[in-house]
Amino acid sequence: MPTELLGGLLFLLLPVAAGSGWYFARKKYFNPSSYVEDVAPEYYKGLRYIIDEQPDKAIEVFLKLLEVDSETVEVHLALGNLFRRRGEVDRAVRVHQNLIARPTLSTEQRSQALVELGVDYLRSGLLDRAEVMFESLLTTAYKSRAALYLVEIYEEEQDWDKAVECARIWQQNSSHKLNKRIAHYYSKKAEECLADNDLKPAREFIKLALKEDSNCAHASMVEGHLEMLEKNYKAAIKAFKRIEKQAPEFISEVLIPLKTCYRNLDKSHKFLEYLHELPTSQTGVNQIIELSDFIEENEGSDNAIRFLIDKAEELPSVRMLDRLVDLSLIAEEGENKTKLECFKRLTGKLVEVKSAFKCSHCGYRARSIYWQCPACKNWDTVKPIQGVVSEQF
Ligand SMILES: [Zn+2]
């Protein structure tokens, strides 16, 4: 610990000792030699505490040594940030609180210190305190930065209304747009309404989401499920199929509800046509399994097996193998059936533990759909995994 911290502090404090310290020495004592006598011993004392692995005592010394003044605010901020970067958030909080407590700060410096203290709280998981800190900054020159941190907090708290509000504040002063994220927030609101069976507001939120980002597959997916609940199967098919253009990689996730919609309209043959039209590269294994189900229902298991064997060469997958074993079991009897059942237990277990989604940013793997990655918090980075090459157990 001490080596890295020592390096960081030396980097920070040497210029202080050599520059600001001498400045203060001159300012206060009008005599550099008196600085050496009065300030430098304290400075060395602080360094000694670091070498002796007593960083708290070192902080006390440095905080006293670095009298807060317009000349040393930057040093305090840098010292606090250094501690935070090292994961020592408690110490960062102490440094930043010490800074804020000084009455001599300008409004600008005070806001800057409040931002840093807010980040300390955020990184230590004290969301309530961070929220208060950043909200107090919404009327300052730091409002844009504060709004972006608030977006992070409200996403964590799943307060989608406030997340929308702060994303809009941030957009006002930025060339970057958050409209894709805002569309997800509205889609989340629609999902919540759908769960409570409040279909009218759910419909409104879907509209808002698509207005914000016409390519929001999340909104189309919620819309499809809403229309299914209302038994508007034609409208549901329209919403689900929209995903093909919005985010083709997600069409595989709506094939089962699409099949249900076509069935309820007594148009299963249309679903089969649609499956044949879709390129395998977009839908991967889900499409092939759906097709094999359809072939089994209409032409028998032998044809479905032949179809799967053909496709397995094109896009090998454990899920396809598992389905192949299912189909083979139908016609088998006796010893062969026992062997296949044993094989099925194995493939069944493999499918059970398999990740179906992966984050392209951080590699996080999941078994269900996440529009925001739970690990790296990016939106739209968790995508369905297609084929055995990407499958991991
Ligand atoms: Zn991620």
Kindly state the average pLDDT of the residues 222-240: 97
Rounded to the nearest angstrom, the distance between the alpha carbon of 375 and the centre of ligand 1 is: 5
Q: What is the pLDDT of residue 304?
A: 85
Name residue 366's beta-bridge partners. 357
For 53, counting Cβ atoms within 10 Å of its Cβ (0-12 exposed, 13-18 middle, 19+ buried), the class is: exposed
Q: Under DSSP, is residue 105 helix (H, G, I), strand (E, B) or coil?
A: coil
Which helix (H) or strand (E) covers residue 164, if one does? helix 160-172
Tens digits of residue pLDDT in 335-355:
888 887 888 888 777 776 666
Asked whether the predicted pLDDT for residue 25 surpasses 70, the reply is no
In whole angstroms, what is the distance from residue 321 CA to residue 351 CA? 10
Sorting pLDDT into bands at 50, 70 and 90, what band is 283? low
Total-model pTM: 0.75
Rounded to the nearest angstrom, the distance between the alpha carbon of 381 and the centre of ligand 1 is: 6
Task: Tell how far CA 110 is from the center of its chain.
Answer: 31
Provide the pairing of β-strand 382-384 with 357-359: antiparallel
Rounded to the nearest angstrom, the distance between the alpha carbon of 370 and the centre of ligand 1 is: 10
Rounded to the nearest angstrom, the distance between the alpha carbon of 369 and the centre of ligand 1 is: 12
Numbers of helices and strands, H then E, in the chain: 21, 3
Provide the pairing of β-strand 365-366 with 382-384: unpaired
Rounded to the nearest angstrom, the distance between the alpha carbon of 125 and the centre of ligand 1 is: 19
Kindly state the average pLDDT of the residues 126-130: 94
| Structure token digits, residue 224 | 């499809």
More confident residue, 321 or 391: 321
Rounded to the nearest angstrom, the distance between the alpha carbon of 214 and the centre of ligand 1 is: 24
Percent of the chain with pLDDT over 70: 82
Q: What is the pLDDT of residue 265?
A: 96
Name residue 372's beta-bridge partners. 379
DSSP track, 313-379: HHS--HHHHHHHHHHHHHH--HHHHHHHHHHHHHHHHHHHH---EEETTT--EESS--SB-TTT--B
Rounded to the nearest angstrom, the distance between the alpha carbon of 358 and the centre of ligand 1 is: 8
In whole angstroms, what is the distance from residue 261 CA to residue 268 CA? 9
Rounded to the nearest angstrom, the distance between the alpha carbon of 360 and the centre of ligand 1 is: 7
Rounded to the nearest angstrom, the distance between the alpha carbon of 62 and the centre of ligand 1 is: 39
Kindly state the average pLDDT of the residues 286-302: 81
Rounded to the nearest angstrom, the distance between the alpha carbon of 382 and the centre of ligand 1 is: 7
Phi then psi dihedrals of residue 359, to 5 deg: -80, 125
Task: Tell how far CA 257 is from the center of its chain.
Answer: 27
Rounded to the nearest angstrom, the distance between the alpha carbon of 378 and the centre of ligand 1 is: 6
Tens digits of residue pLDDT in 3-13:
555 555 555 55
Whether 222 contacts 193, CB under 8 Å: no
Rounded to the nearest angstrom, the distance between the alpha carbon of 380 and the centre of ligand 1 is: 9
Rounded to the nearest angstrom, the distance between the alpha carbon of 215 and the centre of ligand 1 is: 21
Rounded to the nearest angstrom, the distance between the alpha carbon of 379 and the centre of ligand 1 is: 8
Q: What is the pLDDT of residue 31?
A: 43
Kindly state the average pLDDT of the residues 130-142: 93
Residues with a beta carbon under 5 angstroms from ion ligand 1? 359, 361-362, 364, 373, 375-376
More confident residue, 99 or 15: 99
Rounded to the nearest angstrom, the distance between the alpha carbon of 156 and the centre of ligand 1 is: 15
Which helix (H) or strand (E) covers residue 24, if one does? helix 21-24
Kindly state the average pLDDT of the residues 383-393: 59
Kindly state the average pLDDT of the residues 264-284: 80
Rounded to the nearest angstrom, the distance between the alpha carbon of 239 and the centre of ligand 1 is: 27
Whether 159 contacts 171, CB under 8 Å: no
In whole angstroms, what is the distance from residue 11 CA to residue 4 CA? 11
Phi then psi dihedrals of residue 382, to 5 deg: -90, 115
More confident residue, 393 or 130: 130
Kindly state the average pLDDT of the residues 216-234: 97
Mean confidence (pLDDT) of the chain: 82
| Structure token digits, residue 71 | 């000349």
